[in-house]
Amino acid sequence: MEEFVTDSLSLPAFETIARNIAKTVRRQDVVALSGDLGAGKTTFSRAFIRTFLPTEGEITSPTFNLVQLYSTPDFDIWHFDLYRLKYAEELTELGLEDALESGVSLIEWPEIAKQVLPNERLEIFIENGKNNDERRLRLHYSNHWKDRIHALFKL
Ligand SMILES: Nc1ncnc2c1ncn2[C@@H]1O[C@H](COP(=O)(O)OP(=O)(O)OP(=O)(O)O)[C@@H](O)[C@H]1O
Ligand SMILES: [Mg+2]
């Protein structure tokens, strides 16, 4: 895994990055989103999903259902929130294997699933920025993501 940390980002800049990453995804991609409560994992996911489904109604947080599925012409986007998941065994029931095999997976609170996630993945840690309403993204990216991240951030 390589690492890149962004500058301090306002909300619009944060959402722009989410959209730009979304534009590069393909089937079988995994984006793991970590950060404290209220860090911005769902905000990132909404902007990401909205890139493919501009006319979709409200994109809700899967806090209680743990997973929300969105269909796009090219793949399904599986939006997981594993905060309330107690046992990793339940990941199959939630559809994680299907998601990994043929969809794009966006995973909030991914820690419980780390054992079963592929090594090829983008990990995003959302951290505090300089000011209250700013965030930084700490990106850990595997080989499959390298060219894309380098192009996006001109590395
Ligand atoms: N620069 C910023 N980037 C992202 N979110 C921001 C920023 N500034 C303010 N916010 C706000 O922070 C909040 C983030 O909430 P969000 O639900 O996305 O967090 P979360 O990480 O999904 O929390 P949870 O752990 O409860 O699922 C939103 O209200 C968002 O508008
Ligand atoms: Mg959330």
The full set of domain ranges for the chain reads 2-152
If you measure from the C-alpha of residue 76 to the centroid of ligand 1, how many angstroms do you get, rounded to a whole number?
24
For the record, the structure tokens of 21 come out as 């990453």
Residue 40 confidence class, pLDDT cut points 50, 70, 90: very high
Percentage above 90 pLDDT, the chain: 100
User: CA of 35: how far to CAs of 24, 26, 41, 63, 99, in Å?
Assistant: 23, 24, 7, 15, 22
pLDDT tens profile 10-29: 999 999 999 999 999 999 99
Mean per-residue pLDDT for 73-84? 98
CA of 64 to the centre of ligand 2 (A): 11
Residue to probe by mutation, ligand 1, list 6, 9, 10, 11, most atoms within 8 Å of CB: 11
Per-residue model confidence (pLDDT) at position 44? 98
**Position 103 confidence tier, pLDDT thresholds 50, 70, 90:** very high
Question: For 2-152, CATH number?
Answer: 3.40.50.300
For the residues 59-73, what does the mean pLDDT come to? 96
pLDDT at 120: 98
